[in-house]
């Protein structure tokens, strides 16, 4: 279809005192068309109460601000739509749009439209009476026109932060264990991140290993939105206990430390990709799937889907970046102490980097692919010390600096209460002190 479909529900109310009833009549009348409109794209839809709550905008504000006789329209932005086109299509007066744009701060939050965005408005014979649109996750632009003059405000609906605890033990993988305990995949990845320097979750995590984690969760209007940061965690690997706690330094930078203030982080990541499955370990003799003959495989292959970001294992300088024989598209980094790392078979390189550039630990340098001699998408990772291949899973990598003595008191004050949660015998869901506490009922049993 070339023209957007119009499904408009008009609400004609003659008496302001009957407004509440009229509003519910609109809803009843519009339910069918709104359901119908959901599948059209691009769509200009009149919307029922159900559909409105689905896009999470404060429809009550729009309705309350509307005069007695009006049309209520919810516009879902389609690809290549412009506000001018949409206004014309709805036969809304463009002078109203111009007036809206002239309001301080409104122009930017109104014109920055992306496909899928929803703009709700009421109008009377094409004359805009009110308008709302969500600007981002926590802010909504609300425009009213009480006495013929537009007045705009940004309504904030901040996220609330709560805290949650999980504990579980490994039967097969960390993912499964975290899922079984009620956590998300994201939490599993974060947990693996925190302990990646000490524990190889791919090869070393085993049945009987266990974890406890205290982490933040974010809510909005009482609904779970997403997991936040891990605050403190414990992982028992083969009977050995590792603990990590989050500390925010005076510079605002957060990192994880052992309870006695030593950084958990080391100079090199264990994996150059996120906790992916290792397709073949380091060995001195293996059958190469492409060359089909035995040759020393001086590195580790991490199988991951094409396009998975590849991260610099440590801070260093790019010494080579380009086509490199059987390695395909490869990047070589030079680090301190004669260490170099190589990343092969990339599908593409990270934009904006070149030989000679410095990259930080964890910075994306390319993406998984299967260029060169590769039978499937993976990153081939090599770690060399003074030119000699080493197994990156076995080398003792240099540690980062501990918390300076001057910050120790602050460190203890921040982290002791967090670490204490790991010792709580019953592991209840703990409520963290925050400006607007999250309702425990929605997540206490997760
Ligand atoms: Zn390889």
CA of 297 from ligand 1 middle (Å) equals: 6
Provide the token pair at 119: 């703009």
CA of 176 from ligand 1 middle (Å) equals: 28
CA of 380 from ligand 1 middle (Å) equals: 4
Last residue of a domain, one of 103, 122, 156: 156
CA of 378 from ligand 1 middle (Å) equals: 8
16 found inside a domain: yes
What DSSP character marks residue 267?
A: S
CA of 206 from ligand 1 middle (Å) equals: 25
Based on the domain organization, do 105 and 201 belong to the same domain? no
What is the rounded distance in angstroms from the CA atom of residue 327 to the CA atom of residue 380? 8
Based on the domain organization, do 347 and 425 belong to the same domain? no
Decide: residue 8, CB within 10 A, 0-12 exposed, 13-18 middle, 19+ buried.
Answer: middle
CA of 428 from ligand 1 middle (Å) equals: 46
Beta strands in 17-158, from DSSP E residues, in sequence order:
43-45, 70-76, 118-124, 127-134, 139-144, 151-156
Number of compact structural domains in the chain = 3
191 found inside a domain: yes
What is the rounded distance in angstroms from the CA atom of residue 27 to the CA atom of residue 34? 10
94 found inside a domain: yes
CA of 373 from ligand 1 middle (Å) equals: 9
Provide the token pair at 226: 């997403």
By C-alpha distance, which of 301, 295, 363, 359 is closest to 328?
Answer: 301
CA of 284 from ligand 1 middle (Å) equals: 12
CA of 339 from ligand 1 middle (Å) equals: 19
CB contact set of 359 (below 8 Å; sequence gap of 6+):
312, 315, 316, 317, 318, 333, 353, 365
CA of 110 from ligand 1 middle (Å) equals: 50
Query: Do the Cβ atoms of 14 and 68 come closer than 8 Å?
Result: yes
CA of 302 from ligand 1 middle (Å) equals: 8
CA of 207 from ligand 1 middle (Å) equals: 28
CA of 308 from ligand 1 middle (Å) equals: 16
CA of 403 from ligand 1 middle (Å) equals: 38
Based on the domain organization, do 247 and 315 belong to the same domain? no
CA of 342 from ligand 1 middle (Å) equals: 11
Burial 367-397 (b: 16+ CB within 10 A, else e): bbbbbbbbeebbbbbbbbeeeebbebbeeeb
Q: How many residues does the chain have?
A: 446
CA of 301 from ligand 1 middle (Å) equals: 5
CA of 400 from ligand 1 middle (Å) equals: 29
Whole-prediction pTM: 0.62
Based on the domain organization, do 172 and 136 belong to the same domain? no
CA of 385 from ligand 1 middle (Å) equals: 18
By C-alpha distance, which of 118, 40, 106 is closest to 74?
Answer: 118
CA of 358 from ligand 1 middle (Å) equals: 25
395 found inside a domain: no
DSSP codes joined into one string, 203-229: TT--TT-EEEEEEEEEEETTEEEEEEE
Based on the domain organization, do 170 and 126 belong to the same domain? no
Last residue of a domain, one of 136, 156, 176: 156
Residue 283 pairs with which residues in a beta bridge? 297
Based on the domain organization, do 305 and 194 belong to the same domain? no
CB contact set of 85 (below 8 Å; sequence gap of 6+):
none
What is the rounded distance in angstroms from the CA atom of residue 96 to the CA atom of residue 150? 9
Last residue of a domain, one of 156, 177, 204: 156
- For residue 38, is it left (φ>0), alpha (ψ between -120 and 50) or beta? alpha
Based on the domain organization, do 258 and 305 belong to the same domain? no
Domain CATH code at residue 378: 2.70.70.10
CA of 293 from ligand 1 middle (Å) equals: 14
Question: pLDDT 10s digit of each residue in the chain, 446 long?
Answer: 333 333 333 333 333 332 322 222 232 222 223 333 332 323 333 333 333 333 444 555 555 554 457 889 998 888 888 888 989 988 898 988 888 888 877 888 888 888 888 999 999 888 899 999 988 889 999 999 888 888 888 899 999 999 999 999 998 888 889 999 999 988 998 998 899 888 877 777 788 999 999 999 999 998 999 999 999 999 999 999 999 999 999 999 999 999 999 999 888 887 898 765 555 555 545 545 555 555 567 888 888 888 989 999 999 999 999 999 999 999 999 998 899 999 999 999 999 999 999 999 999 999 999 999 888 888 999 999 999 988 876 776 666 678 899 999 999 999 999 999 998 755 544 433 333 333 333 233 33
- Report pLDDT digits (tens) over 100-150: 888 877 888 888 888 888 999 999 888 899 999 988 889 999 999 888 888
Note down the domain range covering 338: 278-390
CA of 322 from ligand 1 middle (Å) equals: 17
Q: How many CA atoms lie within 13 A of 286 on its CB side?
A: 14
Q: Phi, psi (5° rounding) for residue 78?
A: -100, 175
Based on the domain organization, do 300 and 315 belong to the same domain? yes
Domain CATH code at residue 226: 3.10.450.350
Query: Do the Cβ atoms of 162 and 434 come closer than 8 Å?
Result: yes
411 found inside a domain: yes
Based on the domain organization, do 307 and 340 belong to the same domain? yes
CA of 296 from ligand 1 middle (Å) equals: 10
273 found inside a domain: no
Decide: residue 409, CB within 10 A, 0-12 exposed, 13-18 middle, 19+ buried.
Answer: exposed
CA of 381 from ligand 1 middle (Å) equals: 7
CA of 173 from ligand 1 middle (Å) equals: 24
pLDDT at 248: 95
Query: Do the Cβ atoms of 254 and 232 come closer than 8 Å?
Result: no
Burial 249-274 (b: 16+ CB within 10 A, else e): eeeeeeebbbbebebbbbbbbbbbbb
Neighbours of ion ligand 1 (CB under 5 A): 301, 380
CA of 299 from ligand 1 middle (Å) equals: 6
CA of 194 from ligand 1 middle (Å) equals: 26
Based on the domain organization, do 16 and 149 belong to the same domain? yes
206 found inside a domain: yes
DSSP codes joined into one string, 391-410: -TTTS-PPBPPPPPGGGHHH
What is the rounded distance in angstroms from the CA atom of residue 103 to the CA atom of residue 97? 10
What DSSP character marks residue 136?
A: S
DSSP codes joined into one string, 325-375: GGG-EEEEEE-GGGEEEEEEEESEEPTT--TT-EE-TT-EEEE-B--SS-S
174 found inside a domain: yes
CA of 186 from ligand 1 middle (Å) equals: 28
Based on the domain organization, do 59 and 150 belong to the same domain? yes
Based on the domain organization, do 19 and 144 belong to the same domain? yes
């Amino acid at each position: 279809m070339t023209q957007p479909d119009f499904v408009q529900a008009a609400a004609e109310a003659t008496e302001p005192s009957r407004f509440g009833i009229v509003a519910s009549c609109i809803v009843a009348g519009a339910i069918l068309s709104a359901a119908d409109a959901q599948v059209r794209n691009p769509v200009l839809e009149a919307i029922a109460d159900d559909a409105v709550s689905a896009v999470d905008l404060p429809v009550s504000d729009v309705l309350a601000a509307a005069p007695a006789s009006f049309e209520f329209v919810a516009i879902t932005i389609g690809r290549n739509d412009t506000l001018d086109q949409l206004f014309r299509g709805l036969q809304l007066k463009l002078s109203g749009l111009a007036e809206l744009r002239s309001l301080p701060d409104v122009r930017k939050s109104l014109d920055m439209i992306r496909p899928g965005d929803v703009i709700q408005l009421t109008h009377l014979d094409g004359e805009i009476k009110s308008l709302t649109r969500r600007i981002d996750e926590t802010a909504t632009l609300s425009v009213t026109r009480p006495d013929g003059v537009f007045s705009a405000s940004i309504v904030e609906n901040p996220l609330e932060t709560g805290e949650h605890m999980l504990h579980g033990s490994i039967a097969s993988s960390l993912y499964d264990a975290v899922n079984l305990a009620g956590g998300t995949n994201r939490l599993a990845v974060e947990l693996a991140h925190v302990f990646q320097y000490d524990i190889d979750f791919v090869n070393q995590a085993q049945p009987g290993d266990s974890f406890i984690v205290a982490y933040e969760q974010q809510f909005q209007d009482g609904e779970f939105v997403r997991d936040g940061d891990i605050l403190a965690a414990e992982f028992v690997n083969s009977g050995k206990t590792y603990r990590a706690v989050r500390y925010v330094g005076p510079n605002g930078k957060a990192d994880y430390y052992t309870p006695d203030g030593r950084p958990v982080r080391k100079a090199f990541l264990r994996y150059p990709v996120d906790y992916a499955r290792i397709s073949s370990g380091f060995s001195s003799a293996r059958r190469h799937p492409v060359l089909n003959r035995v040759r020393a495989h001086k590195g580790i292959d991490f199988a991951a889907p094409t396009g998975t970001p590849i991260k610099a294992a440590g801070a260093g300088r790019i010494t080579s970046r380009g086509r490199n024989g059987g390695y395909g598209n490869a990047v070589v980094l030079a680090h301190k102490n004669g260490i170099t790392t190589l990343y092969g078979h990339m599908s593409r390189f990270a934009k904006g980097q070149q030989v000679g550039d410095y990259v930080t630990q964890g910075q994306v340098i390319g993406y998984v692919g299967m260029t060169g001699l590769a039978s499937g998408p993976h990153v081939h990772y090599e770690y060399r010390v003074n030119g000699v291949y080493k197994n990156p899973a076995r080398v003792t990598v240099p540690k980062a600096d501990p918390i300076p003595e001057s910050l120790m008191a602050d460190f203890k004050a921040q982290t002791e209460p967090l670490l204490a949660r790991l010792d709580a015998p019953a592991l209840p869901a703990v409520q963290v002190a925050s400006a607007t506490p999250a309702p425990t009922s929605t997540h206490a049993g997760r």
